[in-house]
Structure formats: C-alpha cells, structure tokens
Structure 1
Amino acid sequence: MNVDVIRADQLASLPHGFLGRRGGVSTGVCAGLNVGFGSGDDRDSIRENRARAVAAIAPGARLATLHQIHSPNVIAVTDPSSDESRPQADGMATDRPGLALGILTADCTPVLFADAKAGIIGAAHAGWKGALGGVTDATIAQMERLGADRTEIVAAVGPCIARKSYEVDEGFFRRFAENDPANERFLTSGRDGHYQFDLEGYVVWRLAAAGIRAVEALGLDTYSDADRFFSYRRATHCGEPDYGRQISMIALP
C-alpha cells in the first residue's frame, strides 16, 4: 500500500502533506505508518516509516521533529533532529531549504504554515492545551522573526478529532469559557454534564484572529476513520495498550 498523502490547496506551491496510517511497515496496534518514538513500536519500523514519509512528501529533505509537550513553545530550526535529541516544543519555523518540518499527532491538530514569497515555513502541534495557550500565535511570531509577513502567511489545518467525537466534561467547559466567553461557541451540549468540543473550529478561529487571511481546514476526523488515521482517544476507548502517531510535514524546496 502506498503512503496516503493529503494535500492542501493553500500550500500547493510547496512540498507538504498530511499523512495517516496507510503505507507503513509497523504491525499490531500501531499497524501502518507509525512515526512516533513515544510508542512502544519497533524502532527500526518507525525509522523506516519516517523515511517513507519524507520520500512521499519531500524526497531528499532532512526531517526535523520535536519532543512535543502540549505547550505554546516554538523554536526556529536550522538543522534536522536526531531520534535522541529532539527539542521540547510544539511549534517550529525555518527558512532553510531542504529541511522538512514534521508534526506528530493522534487526535491533536497539525497546522502547517507558509509565506512562500519570503521563503519561510512553520508547523505546529495544537492540542486543546497548546491551542488555548497560543501555540499557533507563537508559530506565526517565530515566522515573522525569520522575515515572514503575517499578511502573506497561509495555513492549513490537518486531520484531528472532530466535534462529534470529542466529548469533554464540565471542568473543560469552564476552563475555556473563563479564558474567553466567546469560546463557548466551540462547545455544544452533549449528555448530562458533558459537551462536544470543536477543536478544529477553535484552531481555525485562533488563526483568523491572529490575522491569517487564508486558512484551509481539511475537516477530517481522526477518531472515526480507523483505517486511515491513528487516534489516541479511540485506542483508549477500545482498551488498546498503545497507539501510533501520524505525521504532517512541510518543506522548502
């Protein structure tokens, strides 16, 4: 099976892609294109999957990934990362050709950014905590420090857990509402004492509020499509002992 590459129209001028689980060599509960060293998967399989991912999106590029910690921390990247020395952050930006920025997810939102005119790209891992903390805003700011123009930046929001699949409790609701009463629009009532959270919609709103004029949301639900995507929440609900991670990537040619 070939690697399944999902592309965004807004980023068509640059090598990029949102990948799922199709086209990899891992087996068991992480079967497919698992790229996450945080899983218990075979390390050689993960390395092969990462090589396949890069070859499918930006052949010959050097891959930079992060030790993601659900933070608003964003760094400028000049070199690829080794398996053992990934910096702790949840967003990155670069102006270096041949460097592929890779974000890992398994329900959280991957966001890819580009100012193609300036030759600056960015990538962010936006789970609810990072999104609320401003990881997308920080990624835009880091791109600007490298020379990007906010009015020229475009963004694509990749596969993540959808509102219909993302149940949260009253404490979660209060946390978002207290941060900004307008956030209530992204939470709809569900079963007693629970709500359905629109993570993708919230991330899109944060991008628009930050002044990004062109934002493309792919509208793909990681939870409900088990054949195509890994999902932490689905694995938890199914009682599985582990889960895979998919990668989203962007590079400068």
Structure 2
Amino acid sequence: MIPFETAPSLAAQTSIRHGFFGRAGGRSQVDFAGLNVSTSVGDDPETVENNRLLVSGALNVGPLAILRQTHSTRVATIVEPIEPGSIDADALVSATPGLALGILTADCTPILFFDPQAGVIGAAHAGWRGAVDGIIEETVSAMVTLGAHRDAIIAAFGPTIHAANYEVGDSFRRDFLTLHPDGAGHFHTPPEGAPHFDLPGFVAKQLRAAGVATVEQVGACTYAHPDRYFSHRYATHRQTRTGRQISVIGLT
C-alpha cells in the first residue's frame, strides 16, 4: 500500500476520501525515486502514469483530475473527468460524486477543502505567488458558487516548505508588504541573513480570512525532509532534479 498522510477533520467525513502523498512508494527511479506524479519534470511518462494509478488505488477513487498549474489564481469548476494537464489553473472545485481532484507540489502548499453540508470539494495549489495574489479566496468563492457556505468549509493544507528553509530576500518582502501591509509578522531575518517567509503561516491566515470554519495543517517541511517529500528548492540547491507529490480529495 502506498503511504499517505491525512487530516483528522477530513478523515472523519464519510462521503469523501483524501490523502497527502509524499515520495514514498511508486516506481520512479534516480532523481525522481518514489511516487513522482508529474510528467513535466523529465520522468518516464509510463512510469508516472503507473504512479498515478497507484495513488487512485490507494484511495479507491477514479481517475485523477490534474491541472496544468501556472502559479495563477484561476479556479476550474469540473463536472466530469478531464484529461490531465488539459486545463490551465491552480485550483479545482466540484460537487460531482466520483471525481477526484489532484494538486501537485514540491514546496508549494497543497490545500484540500470540503463542505460536508453542501457536498462541495476543492483543491488548491498555493505557492507564494498564488497565495499572495488570492488563490485561496478564489477557491472558496468558487465553492460558494456551487452551494458551499464559508462557515461550513473544512480546509487542510499539507507538506510545504517552512520559514526556516524559505529564504526570499528583501525585494520579495517589499513586494509582499505592498499587497499585504499587515503581513510583516510572516517574515523573520536571521542575523546577517536575508528575510525568510512563513508560507504555511500565511496560508493559514488567508484561509481564516476567507471565512473557512476549520483549518488544519498536515505534514512537515518539504525542504527539511527530502527523504519523505519532493522539494524543488532542495534539489535546486544540490543541482539535481526532483519530482512532484500529489494531494487528492474525492467525493464518493
């Protein structure tokens, strides 16, 4: 069985299945060793497809709806299966039973959403750009359009890079504070170092600002645990390549 992490708040819901997968398991080799689910990083496409099937089997869900993620604030509402990579967006929402929404990450923050009263699910890819520009509010708004209520939504976000390993520099801090003047608390600067950004802390704050009822964090820092997760920044610092892990939520 392919291992994955779950959020207790979502695991308690009987009408969905969900999981935050890492790199453990799977059939990819060398730099992508484990459960790489991305076809855009240089891995063998057939192996990637087999890894995606392993994910579907582990959760007992149908084909995965996977986007071509572009660090935007675009949200796709889907009512039927889609060809992986056929839609440019960074979040999906649905109220259709049998659909499984997948988000790929390798340091960015994956967020899974569910309104158990309305039967609406969502999944978002929140890198710093998307999070700063409003992907979380856009995802919640799209769920509301399908009948969800903000104060009924449960949200859980998964493994992502943490502030200790997320050096961003002074220009990033200035640009961020132009858009979010009250966000200085999401930065810390080590002695004689550059600013570091607390992406998961900012994601949690944005979820609460969007009116989400329950916010839960799952997993650890991707950069600090390259044995457990794919990390783009870790690989870049070591001049290697890396894969992408997937987070999935599906209505049964």
Same fold (TM over 0.5): yes
Q: Tell me, yes or no, if structure 1 residue 77 matches structure 2 residue 75.
A: no
Contact 2:61 2:100 in 1 (8 A): no
TM-score (norm 1): 0.96
Paired residue type of 1:171: S
Q: Following TM superposition, by how much is the alpha carbon of 1:219 offset from its aligned partner in structure 2, in angstroms?
A: 4.9
User: What does residue range 168-247 of structure 1 map to in structure 2 within 5 Å?
Assistant: 168-192=168-192, 194-240=194-240, 242-247=241-246
Q: Following TM superposition, by how much is the alpha carbon of 1:193 offset from its aligned partner in structure 2, in angstroms?
A: 5.4
4+ long deviations beyond 3 Å: none
Classify the secondary structure of the residue corresponding to 1:168. Answer: coil
Aligned pair partner of 1:55 in 46, 54, 57: 57
- Pairwise CA RMSD of aligned residues? 1.1
Classify the secondary structure of the residue corresponding to 1:160. Answer: coil
Alignment length (residue pairs) = 249
Q: 1:191 to 1:49 in 2, by over 3 A?
A: farther
Separation (CA, whole Å) in 2 of partners of 1:164 and 1:219: 15
TM-score (norm 2): 0.96
Paired residue type of 2:49: R
User: What does residue range 5-84 of structure 1 map to in structure 2 within 5 Å?
Assistant: 5-12=4-11, 13=13, 14-57=16-59, 59-83=60-84
Separation (CA, whole Å) in 2 of partners of 1:65 and 1:155: 19
Separation (CA, whole Å) in 2 of partners of 1:8 and 1:78: 25
User: What does residue range 111-122 of structure 1 map to in structure 2 within 5 Å?
Assistant: 111-122=111-122
Structure 2: gaps spanning 5 or more residues: none
Q: Following TM superposition, by how much is the alpha carbon of 1:190 offset from its aligned partner in structure 2, in angstroms?
A: 2.4
Contact 1:6 1:18 in 2 (8 A): yes
Contact 1:65 1:80 in 2 (8 A): no
Percent identity, aligned pairs only, is 45
Contact 2:157 2:218 in 1 (8 A): yes
Which residue is equivalent to 2:96?
Answer: 96
Separation (CA, whole Å) in 2 of partners of 1:87 and 1:193: 40
Q: Following TM superposition, by how much is the alpha carbon of 1:218 offset from its aligned partner in structure 2, in angstroms?
A: 1.9
Q: Following TM superposition, by how much is the alpha carbon of 1:62 offset from its aligned partner in structure 2, in angstroms?
A: 2.3
Paired residue type of 1:235: A
Contact 1:68 1:88 in 2 (8 A): yes
Paired residue type of 2:30: G
Paired residue type of 2:3: D
